[in-house]
Chains A and B, each alone.
Chain A
Amino acid sequence: MATGHAEHHHGPATGFTRWLYTTNHKDIGSMYLWFSFAMFLLGGVFALVIRAELFQPGLQFVDPNFFNQMTTMHGLVMVFGAVMPAFVGLANWMIPMMIGAPDMALPRMNNWSFWILPFAFTMLASTLFMEGGAPNFGWTFYAPLSTTYAPASVTFFIFAVHIMGASSIMGSINIIATIQNLRAPGMTYMKMPLFVWTWLITAYLLIAVMPVLAGVVTMMLFDIHFGTSFFSAAGGGDPVLFQHVFWFFGHPEVYIMILPAFGVVSEIIPTFSRKKLFGYDSMVYATSSIAFLSFIVWAHHMFTTGMPLAGELFFMYATMLIAVPTGVKVFNWITTMFRGSISFETPMLFAIAFVVLFTCGGFTGLMLAIAPADFQYHDTYFVVAHFHYVLVPGAVFSIMAAAYYWLPKWTGNMYDETLGKVHFWLSFVGINVLFFPQHFLGLSGMPRRIPDYALQFADFNMISSVGAFLFGFSQLLFMFIVLKTVMGGKKATAQVWEGAEGLEWTLPSPAPYHTFSTPPTVK
């Protein structure tokens, strides 16, 4: 039955319905990326409220309760709205092109995964305008602050988390099915680009822990509305139970935000070093070990909850172990650069900054893992500094690196290299001015999640706030660069980067709407 319908040679449909009804992995990828950028700005605006309030001691602008709402919404929006969807967007765009597939395995479900998100986040953001205010119990929403003592909007928060979870689970099922099933002939597992590998493992993590998050918010829902006592000692439950279940999700979650970043960096560094990635196999094993370990370290967030000594020790040792496979990755990246032939285009700059600053964040992570020392660090700005170092110059920088790296492939145009470099240096300086002083704040005793602080913390807070505005406004430049590239610019070649390897570079730039409708053969 060879009914070759003409409309199948088509490009995209036109108008808004192209996006609304699409089943195309590239369209869906673009929507994920734009959505995530919008959320990054939103979460960033919340962060700027925080930094503005903390510019000086004293309560300047907002009520402490609103401050707590800002902290909570900032964390939630950045984690679930900005970083995770950005990586899913990259996966959508790149995985089919990298493994020689025509699209994602389940294209309609793919679009469903995306369109859930705007509803989830509209609902979450709408709580800001509700009576009683938005969630104000931190992105970790510890019970009973988030149950008995929560504002009414917690119910919407719970349901938003539920449907975000549904979105993530469907998204990762799609990614796993695509990778397991749609690889071009000859593309064995050990030939897959590392970005594909890291995403495969990330998808496993997601499927394993998003349901647990759904479980814990369901227990909250029942405690709040149906009289159960999971998190209340009066009925035999335990508030700490909440933390165990939450962090069983929460710790793997932070690796969900970094493993795809490892993948991106493992693509970029070899390209601009013009040298094959060093230690491909050990990269794969290291990623798997990190993923495995991530399931048995969760209680390092709970050292001060008074766990029995044996528990503290177990979780301390297990957490420290993660430094080993992560170190392997860092060493491999650097050895890839060693005796390469390096050039410093914007993606490479971001990738190198990633290696440097992520490692910095990793070191502080290791310090936090030492339970007795964590008694001093816990819930201070030292922790805030740690996780922003791994998340912002870590995850976010890798996303920006990826955007610069693949923009020519996506749009067919080269971005403006000079502006890109300006954006990089502004971001690099901004981020360090923003977060480096927070180490000092934390060590000298400033707790996190406070709207006002003792006078000895004034100086560093002021510096940090300046950095925040510098870094924040630099991102408008990023938006400008991307828009400019989308509209036009120097035409990109198919190869784009001299040292790049992989199937995606065999396609013309911009990549046609449908690619690899016939599978390529990989030697």
Chain B
Amino acid sequence: MATPTKPSNVNGVDQPYYVPDQSKFPALASLGMGLMVFGLGSMLNDMKADVSSTVSSMMAVLGFAVLGTVLFNWFATQIRENHEGLPGPQLKRSYVLGMYWFIFSEVMFFAAFFGSLYYVRNFSVPWLAGEGDKGVSNMLWEGFQGSWPVISNPNPTLFTNPNESMAWRGFGEALHYLPLWNTILLLSSSVTVHIAHTALKSGNRKQLIGWLGATVLLGIVFLFLQVEEYAEAYSELGLTLNSGIYGSTFFLLTGFHGFHVTLGAFMLGVMWFRALRGHFKPEDHFGFEAASWYWHFVDVVWVGLFCFVYLL
């Protein structure tokens, strides 16, 4: 691929725009994406039909590999172009805007799940339990008590009851309450990443590397604890994806959050390597900033989760 160059002089006039040359990345990324989801879809359908086919999983893996490789090279190119000073300040503003709106779209994704949680807690579960405007529904589920968390499902043969929920267990248990630790971890990681940012802005690379590394570590510990929590849920509390609406909302909200933490930690990890390599300048470090915004976003979502999924 031809190295993108800056058409700094067109028709004899200087101009500030940078338009990249042709690129193979987008088409290949689409191919990877297409293969990946087609493979994943086939895998899920195979699983459901109780057959196994290597074609499906190979397709998914191949697609994932293509997509991953492309994205890696894409970002690498982006970074190289940046080193070469190709994007002007205007293009950098576009990146900033792009990141803002991307994060906003993620907020809306979580909003769908938070909204659903709100709905089931305030409408459908009470209705099924005989309260409110559609309380007659209870005639179909005699004996169903609608307290939140739902420990006893309307139909326990279809959706097995959990033994216990993840709700706050009182101050006596606080020390053993993993979500509380996770909150502390994530909140402090937001602080550390902020300190790293300040360090970067004042040109202190050592501190940057140290604090950023600490942030990534905190993220990893968070994930580790979450895995621990899930293991406990499955093996001891009997709380699974199949335990009715409480398990459904619990695992999807915390699961997608955990997935985003993974992404965020990965992004920060990449930034850490780039920091090691001396990529960032005090006045120009958009990659770092984007990752740290993302991290703050993930953190804010967690605070929401902690309140609405665990405490209230």
Contacts and interface: CB of A to CB of B under 8 A. Distances in A.
Chains A, B in direct contact (C-beta < 8 Å) = yes
A116 B15 contact: no
Contacts of B2: 7
A173 B154 contact: no
Contact of A108 (B11, B25, B132): B25
A106 to B, nearest CB: 6
A8 B5 contact: yes
A155 B56 CA distance: 13
A331 interface: no
A291 to B, nearest CB: 15
Contact of B8 (A2, A111, A182, A234): A2
Contacts of A215: 109, 111-113, 116
Interface string A81-103: 00000000000000000000111
B163 interface: no
Contacts of B91: 105
B115 interface: yes
Interface in A1-23: 1-5, 7-9, 13, 17-18, 20-23
Interface stretch (B190-198, B206-214, B245-253): B245-253
A181 B30 CA distance: 27
Nearest to B85: A1
Interface range, B side: 35 or more
A173 B98 contact: yes
A23 B210 CA distance: 39
B201 to A, nearest CB: 23
Nearest to A112: B26
Contacts of A152: 45, 48-49
B69 interface: no
B306 interface: no
B45 A155 contact: yes
B5 A3 contact: yes
B312 interface: no
Interface string B54-88: 00000000000000000000100000000001000
Interface stretch (B32-40, B176-184, B285-293): B32-40
Interface stretch (A263-271, A352-360, A511-519): A511-519
Interface in A401-421: none
A373 interface: no
Interface string A299-312: 00000001011000
Contacts of B24: 20-21
Interface stretch (A37-45, A241-249, A253-261, A478-486): A241-249
Given A23-B22, A103-B17, A123 B34 contact: yes
Interface string B99-110: 001101110110
B47 interface: yes
A222 interface: yes
Nearest to B5: A5
A245 B116 contact: yes
Contacts of A115: 26-27, 29-30
Interface stretch (A134-142, A203-211, A332-340): A203-211
B173 interface: no
B93 to A, nearest CB: 5
Interface residues of A, number: 93
Contacts of A176: 97, 101
Contacts of A158: 41
A212 interface: yes
B23 A235 contact: no
B21 interface: yes
B242 A227 contact: yes
A208 B154 contact: no
Contacts of A172: 101
Contacts of B111: 211-212, 215
Interface of A: 1-5, 7-9, 13, 17-18, 20-24, 101-103, 105-112, 114-116, 118-120, 122-123, 152, 155-156, 158-160, 162-163, 166, 169, 172-174, 176-178, 180-182, 207-212, 214-216, 218-219, 221-222, 224-230, 232-238, 240-241, 244-245, 248, 306, 308-309, 514, 517-519
Given A103-B19, A110-B26, A309-B133, 10 more contacts: A119-B30, A123-B41, A158-B41, A162-B37, A166-B33, A173-B101, A219-B116, A228-B241, A236-B124, A237-B124
Interface of B: 2, 5-11, 13-17, 19-27, 29-31, 33-34, 37-38, 40-41, 44-45, 47-49, 74, 85, 90-91, 93-95, 97-98, 101-102, 104-106, 108-109, 111-113, 115-116, 119-120, 123-125, 127-128, 132-134, 137, 140-141, 146, 150, 153-155, 158-159, 240-249, 251-252
Shortest Cβ-Cβ A-B pairs, 5 listed? A215-B112, A119-B34, A236-B245, A234-B155, A235-B159
